[in-house]
Amino acid sequence: MRITVLTDNTAGSKFLAEHGLSYFVEIDGEKILFDTGHSDVFLQNAEKLKIDIHNQVEKVVLSHGHWDHGDGLRFLDDKILITHPKSFSKHFRKADHSSVGLWLSKKQIEEKFKLFETNQPYQITENLFFLGEIPRINDFESQTTPFEFEYGDDDFVVDDSALVATLNRELIIITGCSHSGICNICEHAKAVTGISTIKVVIGGFHLKFQNKQTLKTIEYFKKNAVKKLQPSHCTDLPALALFYDEFKIQQVKTGMVLDF
């Protein structure tokens, strides 16, 4: 299995970066695009890596309906798009009611892609699963939200999902932004696959501060003896500092190629 970082917040070497996330996942003889960032940066970086997204990728997974994960869809056509049905909701920030939703409407998406919506887990390849809607089961994640819907109701981003791969009876969990809570995602991945050993967790953890949630998350990963953690994108410096102190994490940068 191989994961190539096409878009992330931090640039590596000759590669571009932006506020967003896009991973190219190779598994079971298939090539899957997970998120697209918000521009064509993922395509520019892919070209430098000699990855032909237009011709090599048949399936795209959208982790949730926020601009920094899905606006790059404008630059793709004629692919299968897998996502949660609520990804096309109108999402806004509470602070100023500015939009954080997708550039393309659901109608436009349906004109460009073969859309497959599900809130249930879905097996993409023999060893790769889309997790569907993530149950919010613990008392320290997804307790508050900075987002709202069009008329001011709280938006807890129920469309937030992730991927899990199974490799030698261990889990490799790939997240977009973890609005549902990274620990909730890990627990759901265990339930979906029936495998309890987590080898790797990579992606956005959506941790901003050195607070209870971050400390509880670190405690969770230590308890579960996760071998490799690679928080990126929406994981801010105060939280990253704690992760480095505890796990000596490696910074995720565009252009990185990770083999498992």
* pLDDT in the model for residue 57: 98
Contact 233, 203 (CB under 8 A): yes
- List the domain range (segments joined by +) for residue 127: 2-259
CATH number at 208 reads 3.60.15.10
* pLDDT in the model for residue 20: 98
Alpha carbon distance 253, 165 (integer Å): 21
* pLDDT in the model for residue 6: 98
* pLDDT in the model for residue 248: 97
The tokens of 41 are what? Answer: 């940066």
For residue range 213-244, what is the model confidence (pLDDT) as tens digits? 999 999 999 999 999 999 999 999 999 999 99
SS3 223: helix
SS3 71: helix
The count of domains in the chain is 1
Q: Rg of the Cα trace of the chain?
A: 17
**pTM, to two decimals:** 0.98
Sign of the dihedral through C-alpha 30, 46, 106, 77: negative
Specify the DSSP class assigned to residue 99.
Answer: B
The tokens of 40 are what? Answer: 């064509």
* pLDDT in the model for residue 232: 97
Residues of the chain with pLDDT under 50: none
* pLDDT in the model for residue 11: 98
